Amino acid sequence: MIIFEKAGKNFGRTPALNNVNLSLPEGKIIGLFGPNGAGKSTLLKAAAGLVRLSSGRVTVDGKAPRQRRTRLAYLPEQNTLPSNWTIKRAAEFYRAFFADWDNKRYEKQMEFLNLKDDLRFARISRGQRAKAKLVLTLARQARYILLDEPFSGIDILAREEISKALVRDYSEGQQTIVVATHEIDEIENLVEHIIFLDNGRITVLGDADELRRQEGKSIVAIMKEAFRDGGK
């Protein structure tokens, strides 16, 4: 389980995370929602061991994230792969780097998402690039999958395909998937557990269907309300 205890992170004087206490439920698809600048990326990066907290701590199955590298697959929002690489080259790189690389899974998802592996990152559309990044991340049999804005800047068809690829993959593994996004609509029905961050604080937390039942509102409406209340 990934657990945050009194986690804080400041960038200069700006707090990105403010005394966050949180345990991410196992085996679920979790939506990490919130407006831009709410601290979603920082939270994910801290869980992935890519950001050092200013205070408090985060543990993955009882140890520091850096010691749990093999259990964590992280998809960054930015493009980190060289643009002259083909998808195939990137896959080979991943395979060499991560022992949990599952080539069958990679091939299946490539086929499912209609991607050719001789495509170069420099030449492909944003949608294709987003899909390729996702395939590379999901092809690892990591226990925890952390996705930072996987829908960022891509068209609605590619979004749908990505959502379906996520469901597909999830059904096949015993994974915990965290999706950080400000585009809630696309995956509203896909996430089972909701975390809403605003100004580095958690303002809404819980089971998605339970929240709908309690409030009689959509997740988006509940978020908006929490946002208006300004995290009180």
Partner 1 sequence: MDFDATRPIYLQIIELYKRALLTGELKSGDKILSQRNYAEQYKVNPNTVQRAYREMEALGLVETLRGQGTFVTVTKKQLRTMKEETAENALHSFIYEMKTLGFTLAAVLTKVQENWEKEANGR
The CB density around residue 85, as the number of other CB atoms within 10 Å, is 16
Q: Smallest distance from the beta carbon of 168 to partner 1, in angstroms?
A: 6
Binding pattern for the stretch 20-59 against partner 1, x by CB under 8 A and - elsewhere: --------xx------------------------------
Asked if 167 touches partner 1 (CB under 8 A), the answer is yes
Residue 13, CA distances (Å) to 202, 203, 217 in order: 20, 22, 36
Q: At closest approach, how far in Å is the CB of 212 from partner 1?
A: 5
Residues 103-162 that bind partner 1 (CB under 8 A): 160
**DSSP class of 102:** -
Of 81, 92, 192, 231, the one binding partner 1 (CB under 8 A) is 192
Q: How far is the CB of 191 from partner 1 (least distance, A)?
A: 7
3-state SS, residue 168: helix
Residue 30: strand pairing partners: 178, 193
Residues 143 and 151: their CA atoms lie apart, in Å, by 22
Closest C-alpha to 82, from 66, 74, 93: 93
Q: Which residues bind partner 1 (CB under 8 A)?
A: 28-29, 160, 163-164, 167-168, 170-171, 187-192, 208-210, 212-213, 216-221
